[in-house]
Amino acid sequence: MLPAYFWKRIPPRWQPALLRLGLNWFPAYRATGARLIEVSRDLKRIVVRLPLQRNTRNGAGTLFGGSLYSATDPIYTLLLYANLGPGYIVWDKSAAIRYRKPGREALTAEFLISEADIASVRADVARNGACDRTFTTCFRDAAGVVHTEVDKTVYVACKQHYKSRRPAQ
């Protein structure tokens, strides 16, 4: 994600395209083989496509589990940060992945946060200073069959709370 001082200078209508292009060309994300194919105007929905190709294939000829996981890694963090704003710290905390069926073709995953999710996070952070939130997404094939489920736990805190809990340096 771009630094807050830079991000807020970008016109809102450019932000989805910039996020999509920026992450697709960011070397660490590009190496996963996944690509953002859609980013909603309100930055509450992202669709990711992970093709079966030489660098995403495992020894059995199916999608590598590490590619499936790494394709999901930054997405919920970016969605929350974009919607909460610069007064919050957002970190990935943990993940769990359940393989339902081997991926023998390109798979897509839809990442979605609602206004209710954002309001709930803001309320919990206002009350406690920080909170954890778990989001679930699924990788599906073209027919809509679920191949993989991923649970991502994200840590969110207000900056003051986060700074007060860090050890002095």
Residue 85 belongs to a domain with what CATH number? 3.10.129.10
CB 76 within 8 A of CB 135: yes
Distance between CA atoms of residues 80 and 154, nearest Å = 9
- Across the range 89-98, mean pLDDT stands at 95
List C-alpha distances in Å: 24 to 1, 72, 77, 114: 12, 13, 16, 24
pLDDT tens digits for range 98-134: 999 999 999 999 999 999 999 999 999 999 999 999 9
pLDDT at 19: 87
Q: Please give the tally of structural domains in the chain.
A: 1
- For 115, residues 6+ apart whose C-beta sits below 8 A from its C-beta are 44
| Residue-by-residue DSSP string for the chain | ---HHHHTTS-GGGHHHHHHHHHHHSHHHHTT--EEEEE-TTSSEEEEEE---GGGB-TTSSB-HHHHHHHHTTHHHHHHHHHH-TTEEEEEEEEEEEE-S---S-EEEEEE--HHHHHHHHHHHHHHSEEEEEEEEEEE-TT--EEEEEEEEEEEEEHHHHHHHSPP-
Q: What is the mean pLDDT of residues 4-25?
A: 80
Compute the mean pLDDT over every residue in the chain, rounded to the nearest whole number: 91
Q: Which pTM was predicted?
A: 0.88
Q: In the prediction, which pLDDT does 6 show?
A: 63
Residue 48's domain spans which residues?
Answer: 4-165
Residue-wise burial string across 26-42, b where 16 or more C-beta atoms lie within 10 A, e elsewhere = eeebeebbbbbeebeee
Query: Which has more pLDDT, 54 or 166?
Result: 54
CB atoms within 10 A of CB 154: 22
The pairing of strands 130-140 and 146-158 is: antiparallel
Which has more confidence, 159 or 138? 138
Q: Which position has the token pair 């798979």?
A: 107
